Amino acid sequence: MTDRTAQAADYAAAGFGKELEPGSRPALVLVDPARAYIDPHCPLYAGVEENVAAMRTLLAAARAAGIPVIVTEVRLRADGADGGIFFKKSGTLVAFCEGSPFGELIEGLEPNADELLVTKKYASAFFGTTLSTHLTALGVDTVLVAGLSTSGCVRATTLDAMQHGFVPIVVKEAVGDRDSAIHESNLFDMQQKMAEVWPLVSVQRYLARE
């Protein structure tokens, strides 16, 4: 067996053989499309421009289909100003990329005035009761998840969406990580444990269906 086949067998043995059926009322969640990911002065995720282009394509398809769009962002600095991101390490807030425009969204991925922008206090993504209630009121049953960190926020958002009763679909080309091994491993993990992972073209067909 290949490593992936063996891993899939392990997941199945652990009871992760979920059966998810995407519904007819999707919403799109763009997870933290922050400028730091493409900022040459913050090289942690530099090189994911193709994923950004896919996110723009996805956003255009979602808007054309008239589905709800939600953009999440992190805005946290030690001095309380916008921009920059900090993680808690040993009880101390440490700068992740001091001075980077992390709190500014990538051009072309900002929500329209009638779309929802969810600001988070912490780097790990979340749905939360308020967002869940909002989407439920709109009749949403499926969530398309796209973002630029497979190792953190996208996984957390995906799992949280499922725990709130939504069927999550991770849009493969609209998710990026500069480390290709981490990227593929995390997409595989999400696909086996908690979500459908679809290529962008499949999502476009899903959104365009009658």
Positions marked active-site: 153
Per DSSP, the residues of 45-97 read GTT-HHHHHHHHHHHHHHHHHT--EEEEEE---TTS-SS--EEEETTEEEESS
> How far is Cα 190 from Cα 168, in angstroms, rounded to an integer?
10
76: tokens are: 């946290």
Residue 161, SS3?
helix
Name the β-bridge partners of 31. 72, 147
Q: How far apart are CA 146 and CA 168, in angstroms?
A: 10
Amino acid at 184: E
